[in-house]
Structure 1
Amino acid sequence: MSALNREQVLSVRHWTDTLFSFTTTRDAGFRFQSGQFAMMGLEVEGRPLLRAYSMASAHYEDNLEFFSIKVPDGPLTSRLQRIREGDTVLVGRKATGTLIMDNLLPGSRLLLLSTGTGLAPFVSLIKDPDVYERYENIVLVHGCRQVSELAYGEDVVARLKADEVLGEMLEGKLTYYPTVTREPFRNRGRITDLISSARLFDDIGQAPLSIETDRVMLCGSPAMLEDLRVMFEAEDFLEGSHSEPGHFVVEKAFVER
């Protein structure tokens, strides 16, 4: 397990019966860019049990933060959901991922489109001052089935707006748009439908989707990723990568177990 760091759990918060977040120590040698992920997990019977997890912490923070689902029979999350302060988790020493700003062509509005725990890398990004220097507007969309599942994202955005340093940076630039599909709420509907109908942009009082101005990051369920990929490609948006930046990027290493 030489490729892994042992980190101590500092705090755990259960948001719903299916979602929780936790913070850990951070090895001084661990480096990552906002939006990236690392392999993270537990030692089980002397062997590492790992899954890809995006860091929800900013690249400059002293601690690491993760946002996870709970799967009752999931090999990892059935165990991970029981961690407590003082426990040890394993974190890979190498971070990677496509949700980094250098994989996008220059633009003026950044759309961060997420469902479920796919919100995590965007929590990291909206804490990054460089994002606000590169883009005039940042729109964070978080889609969930139920209103209660929005709690983590709502808490993060509220804390950032109240922050003495970041709050000023966010003001007038960050728009947070939570939406649900299975309960009454002020914003309802699938992200794909909200964009194709332009309702999202009407609701936030901004111009509709444009290849000239918009750059997009996607992280969420496989179905959501595929639907949005098809939609953006139909609008001639090109998918970006480490080798060639594009109009949108997709993170495929989504934790569901």
Structure 2
Amino acid sequence: MPPILMGRRSAKIATRKGAADAKKAALYGKYGKLIVTLAKEGGPSPNANTQLRDIIAQATRAGVPKDIIERNIKRASDSKQADYSETSYEAYGPGGVGFIIEGLTDNLNRSAADVRSAVTKGGGKMATAGAVAFNFKNVGQLMTAPGEEVSEDDLFDVAIEAGAEDVISNADGTFTVLTPKEEFGAVRNALDGAGIKMNEEKSGLQMMPMLFATDVSDEDYESCRDMEEKLLALEDVDAVYTQLEDEEAEE
């Protein structure tokens, strides 16, 4: 797909590190909350709690530090630790760009207020349920790790046989495997079994835009990226999806 926005390379380079750091922090937070939830439900021992063991393995592959994992296992035994609930909000960013904001929270009122504040301060507005979501599709994405040596044909054969929908070649030499939501686990297991290493930070279930924002000014584009970063910095936000095309595709 050709670039949808032009003339922004220098601005993107200047802001990319902050956005990447925010996404990494949100990823760590997401795994931390999942670990707390599963440890509360099935006990803190990974040997006895298979779901906890699996999520710890995923977190480790994603680069979550060991001390964060251990700290959140201990948090689960705190009687004051509330249960986490899934949240999803829809919003419009500057220029009318659609946003979906997802997370896990132990305080729904705080989560809603913080998200609304970040959206408003970012120049956006909250949307009613379904107003933005219809432009997105819930899919599984698996991206090969940088430097992973695998041919597109071999990857295609393994992925498609396991239930994937498509394999996309990226400009940086990696590949992206797209799956239906229901087949994500089966495809992931097949790729693991074939010894194909994944980029854990860019793999998982996500909301993929079916319609990209193509008429966005430079100013609105940068404001949307800034709003995305501020949302990801919130304690209760684990992922933000927008109708802006991924930065790697825009260059």
- TM-score band by shorter chain is under 0.3
Please give the TM-score of this superposition, normalised by the length of structure 2.
0.25
Please give the TM-score of this superposition, normalised by the length of structure 1.
0.24
Bigger Rg, which one: 2
Structure having the higher helix fraction is 2
Q: Which has the higher contact order (CA 8 A, sep 6+)?
A: 2
